Amino acid sequence: MNHRRALRAAVTIAVTGALAAAMTMTLTSTASAGTTLRASAAEKGRYFGAAVATGKLSTSAYTTILNREFNSVVAENEMKWDATEPQQGRFSYTGGDRLVSHAQANGMSVRGHALLWHQQEPGWAQGMSGSALRSAMINHVTQVATHFRGKIYAWDVVNEAFADGGGGGRRDSNLQRTGNDWIEAAFRAARAADPGAKLCYNDYNTDGINAKSTGIYNMVRDFKSRGVPIDCVGFQSHLGTSLAGDYQANLQRFADLGVDVQITELDVMTGGNQANIFGAVTRACMNVSRCTGITTWGVRDCDSWRGSDNALLFDCNGNKKAAYTSVLNALNAGPAIPTTPPPTDPPPTTPPPTDPPPTTPPPGTAGCSASVSLNSWNGGFVATVKVTAGSAGTSGWNVGVTLASGASVTNTWSATASGSTGSVRFANVDYNGRLGAGQVTEFGFQGTGSGAGITPTCTAS
Ligand code: 9MR
């Protein structure tokens, strides 16, 4: 009893302290007083989202909370591989489309989850391996990302590909066994299919600096250094009764690599610490300017995959829990994402001319050169072509390649292809034809068959 009274007293002091802190915060320039999660997050340039089981969209007790509190949604299951391609080459988008419509009608953005994951593979893919699986998985990424093109804020392109435990390496799966480059191949295919979506890698047990998060960190750093298109990392954050002390530092180290970070599947075991942990996670996100949003994995406790953990912000009757208030306060107290990044360097001064201006006018045809970097696997490839303008710049360019026999182009981005086998030409699109002297642009294409021997030649106009 005494024990319980002491606990209650401690909680009262803590709450009073928190109130005082909140009141102090309202005096700071960044504090605001949004009264819903979505309004508060939006004021800070962020989203607040929930995983949705689309079947519940016809339950008004559910949609009332969803529409009032959340401005982002993710399908809990309906955009996964088993749901979207139940038989090979036969696609089904009913659930995903329904969620997108709901989002569009209610001012919500959509996270796409997940193009590739070793779980919830359809049965036909579970039985596949090698180059057949590689082609099937790239086709899946291409088809699904194309179907939803323009409607997805961020895709979890690959989910949970790293192993638990101390090694920091990849998880074994039939996808991984198609070759270590399967993740980058998936990201390139996703970029080709929907260039406007942010492309994320998403995983769990990454809540702090540990072997697994460091393995992922090294992959992201490698991708950034080689130009593999990755824009964000999702931290699922299925949490227990404590939070790693370096949770925020871990988010920050990823952000420092030049990617956005997002909390993608937040839920927290019930117990004394639940509200505090929800608040601490929210504060950590707010303190990292590249943390663009938070998603809880469900709406009410009874919607959660964690069942009796009561792991969410609303109880089964839809009432706001203490954890809700803790999150709302943290959103209101946090800084906004700067709309224009603060200048970090002094503005560039015009460099002095290093070369004398040409005394003779450039020849009538401006030159350009092209080089290719290939990412090949058995049965397919992705080619990234770098176009460099010559000394006179370009107003347009055209790149020719000759493909090996049996190879064909299946997808092109940032260029328009003519032909798909043999001699194929790629012309600039509207926005990347005009290049200054020495300026560089990139386009890419994906193909089946062998990418061997591709040597691009560039003609400028
Ligand atoms: O919440 C999802 C549950 O309904 C599914 O049965 C389960 C199947 O594996 O997947 C759950 O969602 C998972 C998410 O897609 C990826 N991270 C872990 C989530 C909880 O298991």
Helices (H), 240-334: 247-255, 274-286, 322-333
> How much is the average pLDDT of 32-50?
94
Q: Which of 135, 110, 137, 134 is nearest to 121 (CA)?
A: 137
Q: Which of 76, 85, 184, 265 is catalytic?
A: 265
Looking up tokens 């323009």 gives 150
Decide if 34 contacts 333 (C-beta within 8 A): no
CB of 296 shorter than 6 A to ligand 1: no
Judged by phi (left if over 0) then psi (alpha if -120 to 50, else beta), residue 165 lies in left
Instruction: Please say if the pLDDT value at position 228 is more than 50.
Output: yes
Residue bearing the CA closest to ligand 1, atom 3:
305
CB of 378 shorter than 6 A to ligand 1: no
CA 304–ligand 1 middle distance (angstroms): 10
Categorize the per-residue pLDDT at 383 as very low, low, confident or very high, splitting at 50, 70 and 90: confident
> How much is the average pLDDT of 23-30?
42
Instruction: Please say if the pLDDT value at position 450 is more than 50.
Output: yes
CA 256–ligand 1 middle distance (angstroms): 29
CA 296–ligand 1 middle distance (angstroms): 12
Q: What are the φ and ψ backbone dihedral angles of 156, each rounded to 5 degrees?
A: -80, 95
Atom from ligand 1 closest to the CA of residue 80: 15
Instruction: Please say if the pLDDT value at position 385 is more than 90.
Output: no
Which pLDDT does position 4 carry in this prediction? 39
CA 371–ligand 1 middle distance (angstroms): 43
Residue bearing the CA closest to ligand 1, atom 21:
305
Judged by phi (left if over 0) then psi (alpha if -120 to 50, else beta), residue 168 lies in left
43 has catalytic annotation:
no
Which pLDDT does position 344 carry in this prediction? 54
DSSP class of 368: E
Q: Which of 3, 65, 9, 71 is nearest to 39 (CA)?
A: 71
Q: Which residues contact 118 (CB under 8 A, 6 or more apart)?
A: 160, 161, 171, 173, 174, 175, 176
Instruction: Please say if the pLDDT value at position 361 is more than 50.
Output: no
CA 362–ligand 1 middle distance (angstroms): 61
Residue bearing the CA closest to ligand 1, atom 16:
159
Q: What percent of the chain has pLDDT over 90?
A: 74
Count Cβ atoms below 10 Å from residue 166 Cβ, excluding itself. 9
69 has catalytic annotation:
no
CB of 305 shorter than 6 A to ligand 1: yes
Instruction: Please say if the pLDDT value at position 64 is more than 80.
Output: yes
Instruction: Please say if the pLDDT value at position 26 is more than 80.
Output: no
Which pLDDT does position 37 carry in this prediction? 98
Q: What is the pLDDT of residues 275-325, one digit of tens each?
A: 999 999 999 999 999 999 999 999 999 999 998 999 999 999 999 999 999
CA 297–ligand 1 middle distance (angstroms): 9
CA 299–ligand 1 middle distance (angstroms): 14
Decide if 139 contacts 182 (C-beta within 8 A): no
Instruction: Please say if the pLDDT value at position 6 is more than 60.
Output: no
* CA gap 385, 373 in Å, rounded: 6
Instruction: Give residue 214's Cα distance to chain centre.
Output: 18
CB of 56 shorter than 6 A to ligand 1: no
CB of 306 shorter than 6 A to ligand 1: no
Buried/exposed 26-40: b ≥16 CB within 10 Å, e otherwise: eeeeebbebebbbbb
| Rg (the chain; Cα; Å) | 25
CB of 91 shorter than 6 A to ligand 1: no
CB of 265 shorter than 6 A to ligand 1: yes
Q: Which residues contact 53 (CB under 8 A, 6 or more apart)?
A: 76, 77, 78, 303
Decide if 202 contacts 187 (C-beta within 8 A): no
CB of 156 shorter than 6 A to ligand 1: no
Q: What is the pLDDT of residues 315-327, one digit of tens each?
A: 999 999 999 999 9
CA 76–ligand 1 middle distance (angstroms): 7
Model confidence, pTM: 0.72
Decide if 193 contacts 141 (C-beta within 8 A): yes
Which pLDDT does position 373 carry in this prediction? 81
Mean pLDDT of all residues in the chain? 88
Q: What percent of the chain has pLDDT over 70?
A: 87
Name the least confident of 76-85, 164-173, 434-443. 434-443
Atom from ligand 1 closest to the CA of residue 114: 15
> How much is the average pLDDT of 216-220?
98
Q: Which residues contact 324 (CB under 8 A, 6 or more apart)?
A: 37, 313, 314
Pocket test for ligand 1, best of 269, 305, 309 (most atoms within 8 A of CB): 305
Residue bearing the CA closest to ligand 1, atom 14:
76
> How much is the average pLDDT of 104-121?
98
Instruction: Please say if the pLDDT value at position 117 is more than 60.
Output: yes
CB of 77 shorter than 6 A to ligand 1: yes
CB of 30 shorter than 6 A to ligand 1: no
Q: Which of 76, 121, 160, 184 is catalytic?
A: 160
> How much is the average pLDDT of 356-382?
66
Q: Which of 199, 204, 187 is nearest to 239 (CA)?
A: 204
